[in-house]
Amino acid sequence: MMRILIVSDSHRRDGNLTWALEKTGPIDMLIHCGDIEGSEDYIRQLVSCPVHMVTGNNDFFSSLPREDEFMIGNYKIWLTHGHNYYVSMSNEIIKEEAAARGVDIVMYGHTHKPVIDIGRREGDVTAINPGSISYPRQDGRRPSYILMELDRKGLVHYHLNFL
């Protein structure tokens, strides 16, 4: 079993990330979908597991990559903030780009609204947006994050959580 915490758009307000880590318990990986605003080192010090982070549209002068591709189990992941793929309008363009890249799961942020859009057919891309851990914009305006788990068979499960 593998547990991955996915967050986004903390905007240097890191208290809720600390709280999410306490609520979640031990994790095997932390993924941040951008708009970190200089807290990269602090976030790396919070956990003792691999961390994947990318820049967002508010991460000026950051040395983080704009995008990242990596594997989690048998799944190819593409991590990007999403603002360059018009995600504020819909996630269709980012899913098309992910499919063109041969990606199984695209993770993005920017909208401050959580999305778990699971591909329905074999080969379809799954699009994941954890919403904002600090400045939520969805109905109810509760900070959100996603816990992604791989079970013993290597199958992925997503759990949307609110603080």
Domain extent, residue 107, equals 2-162
The secondary element (H helix, E strand) that includes residue 161 is: strand 156-162
pTM across the whole model: 0.96
Structural domain count of the chain: 1
pLDDT at 122: 72
pLDDT per residue over 45-77, tens digit each? 999 999 999 999 999 999 999 999 999 999 999
Beta-bridge partners for 72: 75
pLDDT at 123: 75
pLDDT at 119: 82
| Burial class (CB within 10 angstroms; exposed 0-12, middle 13-18, buried 19+) of 111 | buried
Cβ partners under 8 Å of residue 163, min gap 6 = 16, 19, 20, 23, 133, 142, 143, 144, 145
Q: If DSSP codes are grouped into helix, strand and coil, which group holds residue 112?
A: coil
CATH number at residue 20: 3.60.21.10
The conformation of residue 85, written as its DSSP 8-state character, comes to G
152 backbone dihedrals φ, ψ, rounded to 5°: -60, -25
Distances (CA, A) of 132 to 8, 10, 114, 124, 143: 5, 6, 8, 25, 6
pLDDT per residue over 85-112, tens digit each? 999 999 999 999 999 999 999 999 999 9
The secondary element (H helix, E strand) that includes residue 51 is: strand 51-53
pLDDT at 108: 98
